[in-house]
Homo-oligomer: A and B are copies of this chain.
């Protein structure tokens, strides 16, 4: 007997039939004696339909009114799931974010949860009712409806689990867990039984889009055991846990992430003087361009090369900013390249294991893959290589770091 929060995404509740399947699963968990709180998203396509209606009125809809409208998507789903459970003889009750009550600040469209009142839920759970809460939404102090932004249903699930001190928060999605790397690139990729919050954050931000980053941060902060699993299959998924540092079996590397959506910009031959980095990156930030990796080589002749990466879609904009900056910082030339990819090894194990970086570089060298940039953090090593080497690099590293599934 446990208190479990389950979150189902838009695809999992995309049709009446799929909602029935969710109801069946919830019923099964409930029948085992567990107390269940379910968080649901809008039926897939619904949020886009609603936004389309708004855009038909105005390209720039008022954020408060957009939230009033978009929040109806989840409101429909909670009612349908409650009906499906009651049909099965399971007592159930739905709540909108405002009703539950999930209090947020007033940042319409990207609100942050401030508090959750668990009194109603506790009373319902005591009566063995399944509680169904609309994800992605809340209300501010004045009762205005707010939304947490896209993907915010994960955050709702984790926040409810934290408020209720749930035993587990299960995020049901269309993948059956977190993998050592993308199985489309490496067929031998394995599902991880567990992964730490820190590793998950690195994996997520590097392109493994299983969970919303914010919800992982939230779960880590409030120590909510988070499990990612498939709403279509029966596997155990991947449990995201705190790093106990006691697990001696912990492998050095948990997974390999990569990101094709990168472009590289090099500002060559700038004077190696204090403040040069901010004079280059300041205007980039002012233009609302997010910078990912930043590398500055050691100075040789009193000048240095300053390199950074941005999302590919931002490369042109970044170039035009740099052209103005180039004169200002007396740069020799500006070089750009959008035929690159970033490959990262992620693992809390590397904290205590020397030699991960050198092994990585050796593996890539053996395959004749030239490394263009290197950047490291405590639990991650990232390299930038020519994008044509992506598959080769990821597969070679996956094998070298013992991540391949045992062959059958």
By a beta-carbon cutoff of 8 Å, the part of chain A in contact with chain B is: 16, 19-20, 50, 53-54, 56-58, 61-62, 64-66, 68-69, 71-72, 75-76, 78-80, 82-84, 86-87, 93-94, 96, 98-99, 143-145
Note all chain B residues with C-beta closer than 8 A to A61. 83
Contacts A84-B58, A87-B58, A99-B143 given; indicate if A50 touches B76 (C-beta within 8 A).
yes
With beta carbons under 8 angstroms apart, the residue of B19, B62, B76, B99 that contacts A83 is B62
Separation of A143 and B119 alpha carbons in the complex (Å)? 14
Contacts A61-B83, A62-B82, A62-B83 given; indicate if A68 touches B54 (C-beta within 8 A).
no
Note all chain B residues with C-beta closer than 8 A to A53. 16, 76, 80
B79 and A94 contacting across the interface, CB-CB below 8 Å = no
A12 to chain B: closest CB distance in Å?
Answer: 15
Note all chain B residues with C-beta closer than 8 A to A20. 57
Contacts A16-B56, A79-B54 given; indicate if A86 touches B65 (C-beta within 8 A).
yes
Contacts A20-B57, A54-B80 given; indicate if A68 touches B87 (C-beta within 8 A).
no
Number of copies: 2
Separation of A175 and B66 alpha carbons in the complex (Å)? 31
Separation of A82 and B57 alpha carbons in the complex (Å)? 10
A345 to chain B: closest CB distance in Å?
Answer: 46
Contacts A50-B76, A99-B143 given; indicate if A84 touches B57 (C-beta within 8 A).
yes
Most chain B C-beta atoms within 10 Å of own C-beta, residue among A62, A66, A83, A94: A83
Note all chain B residues with C-beta closer than 8 A to A57. 16, 19-20, 80, 83-84, 87
A55 to chain B: closest CB distance in Å?
Answer: 9
Separation of A176 and B79 alpha carbons in the complex (Å)? 38
A68 and B84 contacting across the interface, CB-CB below 8 Å = no
With beta carbons under 8 angstroms apart, the residue of B19, B64, B71, B79 that contacts A66 is B79
Most chain B C-beta atoms within 10 Å of own C-beta, residue among A16, A57, A61, A96: A57
Separation of A64 and B129 alpha carbons in the complex (Å)? 15
Across chains A and B, which 3 residue pairs bring their CB atoms closest together, nearest first?
Answer: A72-B72, A69-B79, A16-B56
Separation of A56 and B62 alpha carbons in the complex (Å)? 34
Separation of A72 and B86 alpha carbons in the complex (Å)? 21
Note all chain B residues with C-beta closer than 8 A to A50. 76
B72 and A75 contacting across the interface, CB-CB below 8 Å = yes
| Interface contacts beyond A68-B96, A69-B80, A98-B98: sample of 11 additional A-B pairs, CB < 8 Å, sorted by A | A20-B57, A57-B80, A57-B83, A58-B86, A64-B93, A65-B79, A65-B86, A69-B79, A72-B75, A99-B143, A99-B144
